[in-house]
Chain A
């Protein structure tokens, strides 16, 4: 392995590590706030990438219809759940928010998609279509189970993953897509080529991580999420409802997943089921970080990215195996020296 290869792999590790770090950090957040091990996190990556790809091609992305459908399901569930106290006004409000807004978005997308407005408007449109799926998934699948055990929530999460992958196949089809890069520029630094795209990915990730840090440390909403993670009862005693924090956590996780999809879509071809493996690597990093430490999870994500890049170079057939194997010694070590996560509540 010469120096050029080494640097190339290094750059590669950094890019994938950065994206895994985003996924790992949000996974830790969702787990600590809602106790859900959110396996389907990767599906938001897929949805983000494929939605952008469709918009770039001038087509209406399947997510526009999907959002409308999921919104309708959520509306029906919300009205059933509230049937005893449901007033006409409340029903109208639910319908406007859950069905009306997605329908409006669908119209906008129908108008905008053929115009090919360019990368930035298309990215914003993608986020508008994908991010609302986060809180909707929470409302449909997890909110009614707020008091369930971690195991039940995990089983539901796996179910949601399968559902979202299946819907991905229905709405995006089996073909893979690659989006165009933010920029095709390449900088030469000594004997090394650095693509502008990789700089984009790394700076966007750094900005998002910094943003998350500031959100958790400086804003009241961020503090509410942390509080709910520390003591659910304490949070309820100061009027912070589990529903609200769950909603917020899932919105954030969908946002970060979708942004990761926007970044990764131009680096590799994404199929309807690609998100799972990507999300799983974020998950591995989150586990390596003990599911409670953000910095550890982010550092572990860089490690996962590095292991992946180097093993795909030297033993590419086994790259996934090698990545997922590093979890075993860590789990062993943790199970011997640390209490199981369930006891940390």
Chain B
């Protein structure tokens, strides 16, 4: 059964059409990735699904139509988005950022969830009193994911989680992503690092200039010559790793 269905979604900035009639489907507990060049409209797509941007078309989450549903409501229904800009509370500590991720929960529940996040990201625990604005890029990314996980979302949307990270941390992040899927969290993953994304995903979409131009099981797309040429580099050389 699908958890999220997007039909005929369009986003425009004034006269610029960033997303045009995109359709997308995510089953519960699966990883779906959207790959595409810079400016293809991936971020706009995620932000529109989360309700941060006005959009035309239909977004259905857990069988409910999301039109008119503000971001806060989508969040409380079980959607979480880690945005490209992370949007952390920079002058607050790691701990406070995490607490705010579960701001509707009681103290006990917060402590328990925080322990789980710290288990996934031990580095955050070591620095729990450090201000979010002083963290390194990788630590910020971990905190943004941790804050989203504090809500125990059913659908976690990640906008370029590997952006600017060292290969070893990228591997760690992707490991966490597949582990989350194994724990029943559906993931919508937007990535520049197409190789890693296609490896971890179950299903994939390719976006170009606001349109979905290809889609299929991730393993199948990874073998598609057009995808190899445009997004995986020639002969499978590791040129696309951030």
Q: A236: shortest Cβ distance to chain B, in Å?
A: 4
Q: A83: shortest Cβ distance to chain B, in Å?
A: 13
Report yes or no: B151 in contact with A238, Cβ–Cβ below 8 A: yes
Interface residue? A223 (CB, 8 A): yes
Interface residue? B70 (CB, 8 A): yes
Q: How many angstroms between the C-alpha atoms of A227 and B80 in the bound complex? A: 17
Partner-contacting stretch, out of B18-26, B86-94, B208-216: B86-94
Report yes or no: B103 in contact with A231, Cβ–Cβ below 8 A: no
Interface string of B129-164 (1 = CB under 8 A from A): 000000000000000000110010000000000000
Q: How large is the interface on A (under 10, 10 to 19, 20 to 34, 35 or more residues)?
A: 10 to 19
Report yes or no: A236 in contact with B72, Cβ–Cβ below 8 A: yes
Q: Which B residues touch A230, using CB under 8 A?
A: 89-92
Known: A223-B92, A226-B89, A230-B90. A238 touches B103 (CB 8 A): yes
Q: Which B residues touch A162, using CB under 8 A?
A: none
Per the 8 Å Cβ criterion, residues 172-215 of B in contact with A are none
Q: How many angstroms between the C-alpha atoms of A163 and B80 in the bound complex? A: 42
Report yes or no: B147 in contact with A231, Cβ–Cβ below 8 A: no
Per the 8 Å Cβ criterion, residues 230-256 of A in contact with B are 230-231, 233-241
Q: Which A residues touch B17, using CB under 8 A?
A: none
Report yes or no: A237 in contact with B50, Cβ–Cβ below 8 A: yes
Report yes or no: B76 in contact with A239, Cβ–Cβ below 8 A: yes
In the complex, what residue of chain A is closest to B77 when comparing beta carbons? Answer: A239
Interface residue? A224 (CB, 8 A): yes
Interface string of B84-122 (1 = CB under 8 A from A): 000111111000100111011000000000000000000
Report yes or no: B70 in contact with A237, Cβ–Cβ below 8 A: no
Report yes or no: A227 in contact with B100, Cβ–Cβ below 8 A: yes
Interface residue? A336 (CB, 8 A): no
Q: Which A residues touch B70, using CB under 8 A?
A: 236, 241
Contact of B88 among A220, A224, A226, A234 (CB under 8 A): A234
Q: How many angstroms between the C-alpha atoms of A223 and B107 in the bound complex? A: 14
Grouping DSSP codes into helix (H, G, I), strand (E, B) and loop, the A interface class, with mixed when no group exceeds half, is helix
Interface residue? B242 (CB, 8 A): no
Q: Which B residues touch A226, using CB under 8 A?
A: 89, 91-92
Report yes or no: B88 in contact with A231, Cβ–Cβ below 8 A: yes
In the complex, what residue of chain A is closest to B71 when comparing beta carbons? Answer: A236
Of listed B52, B71, B81, residue having the most chain A CB within 10 A: B71
Q: Which B residues touch A236, using CB under 8 A?
A: 52, 70-72, 75
Q: B127: shortest Cβ distance to chain A, in Å?
A: 18
Known: A220-B103, A236-B52, A238-B100. A227 touches B71 (CB 8 A): no
Q: Which A residues touch B151, using CB under 8 A?
A: 238-239
Q: How many angstroms between the C-alpha atoms of A237 and B52 in the bound complex? A: 9
Report yes or no: B89 in contact with A231, Cβ–Cβ below 8 A: yes
Interface residue? B83 (CB, 8 A): yes
Report yes or no: B90 in contact with A224, Cβ–Cβ below 8 A: no
Interface string of B15-41 (1 = CB under 8 A from A): 000000000000000000000000000
Q: Which A residues touch B90, using CB under 8 A?
A: 230-231
Q: Which B residues touch A237, using CB under 8 A?
A: 50, 52, 71, 75, 80-81, 83, 87, 148
Q: How many angstroms between the C-alpha atoms of A223 and B110 in the bound complex? A: 14
Known: A230-B89, A231-B89, A241-B70. A224 touches B103 (CB 8 A): yes
Q: How many angstroms between the C-alpha atoms of A247 and B235 in the bound complex? A: 59
Report yes or no: A239 in contact with B72, Cβ–Cβ below 8 A: yes
Q: A144: shortest Cβ distance to chain B, in Å?
A: 14
Q: B144: shortest Cβ distance to chain A, in Å?
A: 9
Q: B219: shortest Cβ distance to chain A, in Å?
A: 32
Q: Which B residues touch A241, using CB under 8 A?
A: 70, 72
Q: How many angstroms between the C-alpha atoms of A30 and B37 in the bound complex? A: 42
Q: Which A residues touch B147, using CB under 8 A?
A: 238
Q: How many angstroms between the C-alpha atoms of A218 and B100 in the bound complex? A: 12
Q: Which B residues touch A240, using CB under 8 A?
A: 72, 100, 103
In the complex, what residue of chain A is closest to B51 when comparing beta carbons? Answer: A236
Report yes or no: A223 in contact with B104, Cβ–Cβ below 8 A: no
Q: How many angstroms between the C-alpha atoms of A257 and B203 in the bound complex? A: 57
Which residues from chain A sit less than 8 Å from chain B, CB to CB? 220, 223-224, 226-227, 230-231, 233-241
Q: A227-B100, A236-B75 are in contact. List 15 more A-B contacts (CB 8 A).
A: A220-B100, A224-B103, A226-B91, A226-B92, A227-B89, A231-B89, A234-B88, A236-B71, A237-B50, A237-B75, A237-B80, A237-B81, A239-B103, A239-B104, A241-B72
